Structure 1
Amino acid sequence: TPLRLRVHEVRAARALHRGRDRAALRAAGEGLDLLSSWQQSFGALDLQASVAMHASDLVFTGLTAAARLGDPETLFEWSERARHLSQQVAPVRPPHDADLAADLAELRMLRAELAGADWTTDARVRMLRDRVRERQWTATGSGAARERLGLAAASALLPHDTAVFSYVFTGSELHAVAVTEGRARIVELDWPRVRAALDGLRADLDMAALTRGGAMGAVTQRSLVARLELLDAGLLAPLRRAVPRASRVAITVPGILGGVPWAMLPGMRGLPFTLVTSVSRWLGADRAPRAASPVVGFAAGPRVRRAGEEVQRAASAWTDRASTRVYEGAEATVGAVTALAGDAELLHIAAHGRHAVDNPLFSGFELSDGTLFGYDVDLIPRAPRTVILSACELGRSSVRWGEEALGMTRVWLHAGTECVIAAPVAVPDDDACELLAAVHAGLTEGAAPADALASAAVTTGVIAPFQCHGDGF
């Protein structure tokens, strides 16, 4: 299969070079169809993304040709091809694997023993990580293929008040397709301007979270505000002008924009939005009915100053509305939280989190007895409908092969969670506590996660990078 893909790559690249854009699209599309048939046998998230590596050149060739044609329908189709690539196969939840659980428990112990060192260089750690990864690859089956929607079908399914902003990166240019019910248009964006604003963004966000107050805090805040205003002008304002009447927005982004804190952009204030992995998956999903008597679960990890207060305040909002379970201190173990996740409709975790760049499925958050890894999520028989991760960096993703983005949010979504609220960068404890407690007040009234998050940001005045991933509506 890789050799046959290479033939399609050469044909597509040759056609693109000669200016034969439609021929390039045909060749690239045939190559991706071949890859899709190969991908049908893989259910594990990391394995699907690794296979998608082989499509990188085909995707960029197709995106470049589609952008040159200037047709919204064609560019939207190729945006969806890129977004849909690593998730078109619905996974089958694996049975509980006692050996996998034991390996993960040993990894937690080793991580604690090697605290302060680079644990990935330890021979025992490398052996266990390889074994965990291989177990997941073999245990996670593949289910039915998800349908990819074209522009006409997607537009017809859109609620009248909702717009889609599909951002497309060709490798050298940035475009977007703004879609509303019955209408679509391409919006050209200034990639050099956006790239300049992205350079140093993460450092500014981390510094702003760590240096609050004082002279240094004021300088850092001014720098961050200026950078966010540039991103707003370069990324958001042109699309808001294109669809001024939209009161909700679903956004798809390439990996290069995966770290943008959309909720902090000035143009997003009060606007409910959700980052969807693909428009096809979002609009084509089968939504489970809400439980009549839901279980709402909370867990607070160690060494987070206001974690206990955060989960207690959030849980109090559900009094007389749901059955709540709150784990703090020594009770907040990996075993207890994974068991809670299997019962809960909504799970809220306030803990220190870390993103593992080398293998995002080893990202996780710290509980009383160690790290709950992304791989632990496969041990949960039924994922919660909504997950709130009040943990630094767990909304962050690693860019894979130029188009793929993997992180803890994708792990939960792959497992079946409909919506994950998380932040891509460090968040001050005070902001997380105030904002997320207010989010629960909206959720108890029946508001969708994106609506509750937007409303909470307005009522509290907290500007934080928490954002909805998946179906926030």
Structure 2
Amino acid sequence: MGTRGAGARPERLPHRSHGPAAERPPRRHRPPPRVPASAPTPLRLRAQEVRAARAAGRGRDGEALRAAAAGLDLLSAWQRSFGALDLQASVAMHASDLVFTGLAAAVRRRDPATLFEWSERARHLSQQVAPVRPPHDDALAADLAELRMLRADLAGADWTTDPTVRALRDRVRERQWSATGSGATRERRTLAETSALLPSDTAVLAYVYTGTGLHGVVVRPDGATVVDLSWSRVRTALDGLRADLDMAALTRGGAMGPVTARALTARLAVLDDELLGPMRRAAAGAERLVVTVPGILGGVPWAMLPGMHGVPFTLATSVSRWFHGTTAAASTPSVGFAAGPRVPRAAEEVRHAADSWTTRGATRLLQGTEATVTAATALAASVDVLHIAAHGRHAVDNPLFSGFELADGVLFGYDVDLIPRVPRTVILSACELGRSSVRWGEEALGMTRVWLHAGADSVIAAPVTVPDDDACELLTAVHDGLSTGASPADALASAALTTGVSAPFQCHGNGF
């Protein structure tokens, strides 16, 4: 990263000339040039970046932390003028080196409070400003509808290269940026506040990636511990993980099924030992877990690790937001289901899941030609729990163009911003929609984050391909728990134990 070797200077040979030059005093370190407060924000951020890097290079970690923190505070003030998720994440690119410099200095300090503070700073980059829900934009809705038609017309081709598509995508982004305002600023929690507020059965596992190493902070009601992890072994296990997960799902029941299953089991065992095990040991006795991860760990199927089987956990966007975000559940929740086309058991899945709510809440189902984008977004605005079973696709180039296929086309991430009120709990029974794209080293942005940013408390989704049978059985059982008042994380953990299904579905946000 930009901070590596930032303080190094080339060796200087002794000056051997004679005369006036020899009598000059030795050159001193020059202070960095002063940048006036009136300078553009990116330039002022760059100045703080240089100060932090110089201090870190000279072993002055306290000074490096102060300079990096000052830079991030400057960025926070800048971000308050933006409400759109992708715009906030793009602005955060200016903080990449500041974050890594601060994280590395915090790791060297070995102080749990300092490392936790910097873990939260990294998590908080694109979510410290709560968005103000924009008014309905008919022009934006029309552009998205046209994009849906173009995507259908260009099926089988790389639709993003079409000039008309590119122009429309740019226009959608610009409309959304101008329409979404910023609201209140979310405050970060300190380690002391977190320990004091944690329930007695809960621990926080906060993972920290410095660009060269992997570490963690485990926070319990009675204290906190810094944990060192083997990044080299974790990285080796991560290489090929997605391919193993996809192959295991696609070859189940075939001749290659046992081979791919063994390879995946071995890889998950390494991650369990190297990534989860040391943190769980430091959180001994905890029955529930709040997990925060850097973008580099965004593809880990935590629910499939042996040490997580049957354990209620939530992948929180940040610990601070986990504390601030949960709202009271409705006493008689309304529940909505939508089944997209070409998913073999989608209709069966939503019908059986709806049966769990027969006597406990009002339910609505969209199937076949009724499951349109307009109907689904209207449904989302009127229910407390939304379950969509459909084919999903993650758009790496712009995750807000990720979406799932409905009867008349793809419901994009940008469509979510047209929903005036989103459900508290969203279940995405669609492959890939739990994936995120790593942006600028520490930011992760995907369809799950889109719903959370829009105001959902929790999202259940999977980052990889899931067999239809597993999704149908597991998620139907999840509704058995939700309908009796269980939290999403508790309902998902209980469903895994009841069904015996090991699947990559996991709870994001405020799962309990």
TM class by shorter chain equals: over 0.9
What is the number of residues matched between the two proteins? Answer: 472
1:170 equivalent in structure 2: 210
> 2-side partners of 1:86 and 1:193: how far apart?
30
2:472 equivalent in structure 1: 433
The one-letter amino acid of 1:466's match is F
2:370 pairs with 1:341: no
> 1-side partners of 2:128 and 2:164: how far apart?
35
The one-letter amino acid of 1:398's match is S
2:295 to 252, 255, 262: 255
Task: Report the RMSD for the aligned CA atoms in angstroms.
Answer: 0.6
The alignment partner of 2:255 has SS state of helix
Tell me the CA shift for residue 320 of structure 1. 1.3
> 2-side partners of 1:100 and 1:81: how far apart?
33
The alignment partner of 1:193 has SS state of helix
1:39-438 superposed matches below 5 A = 39-285=79-325, 287-438=326-477
The one-letter amino acid of 1:29's match is A
> 1-side partners of 2:436 and 2:164: how far apart?
26
Tell me the CA shift for residue 215 of structure 1. 2.8
2:499 equivalent in structure 1: 460
The alignment partner of 1:343 has SS state of coil
Per-residue CA deviation, residues 219-268 of structure 1 (Å, 9 max, x unaligned), is 00000000000000011111111111000000000000000000000000
Per-residue CA deviation, residues 389-424 of structure 1 (Å, 9 max, x unaligned), is 000000000000000000000000000000000000
| Larger proportion of helix | 1
2:71 equivalent in structure 1: 31
1:472 equivalent in structure 2: 511
Tell me the CA shift for residue 291 of structure 1. 2.4
The alignment partner of 2:66 has SS state of helix
Per-residue CA deviation, residues 312-360 of structure 1 (Å, 9 max, x unaligned), is 0000010011110001100000000000000000000000000000000
Tell me the CA shift for residue 288 of structure 1. 3.0
> 2-side partners of 1:324 and 1:53: how far apart?
42
Which one has a bigger Cα radius of gyration? 2
> 1-side partners of 2:183 and 2:508: how far apart?
22
Tell me the CA shift for residue 35 of structure 1. 0.6
Tell me the CA shift for residue 295 of structure 1. 1.4
> 2-side partners of 1:134 and 1:191: how far apart?
39
**Contact 2:206 2:291 (C-alpha < 8 Å) held by counterparts:** yes
1:5 to 18, 29, 45: 45
Tell me the CA shift for residue 214 of structure 1. 3.1
The one-letter amino acid of 2:350's match is V
> 1-side partners of 2:333 and 2:244: how far apart?
40
Taking structure 2 as the reference length, the TM-score comes to 0.92
> 2-side partners of 1:353 and 1:335: how far apart?
17
**Contact 2:334 2:383 (C-alpha < 8 Å) held by counterparts:** yes
The one-letter amino acid of 2:321's match is R
Moved over 6 A (4+): none
> 1-side partners of 2:324 and 2:131: how far apart?
16
> 1-side partners of 2:294 and 2:279: how far apart?
16
> 2-side partners of 1:82 and 1:427: how far apart?
30
> 1-side partners of 2:83 and 2:70: how far apart?
22
Tell me the CA shift for residue 311 of structure 1. 0.2
Q: Which runs of 5+ in 1 are unaligned?
A: none
Tell me the CA shift for residue 157 of structure 1. 1.1
Q: Which runs of 5+ in 2 are unaligned?
A: 1-40
Tell me the CA shift for residue 155 of structure 1. 1.2
> 1-side partners of 2:270 and 2:367: how far apart?
41
Per-residue CA deviation, residues 114-150 of structure 1 (Å, 9 max, x unaligned), is 0000000001100110000001100000001000111
The one-letter amino acid of 2:261's match is Q
**Contact 2:327 2:457 (C-alpha < 8 Å) held by counterparts:** no
Per-residue CA deviation, residues 142-186 of structure 1 (Å, 9 max, x unaligned), is 001000111001111111100000000000000000001131000
Q: Percent identity?
A: 77
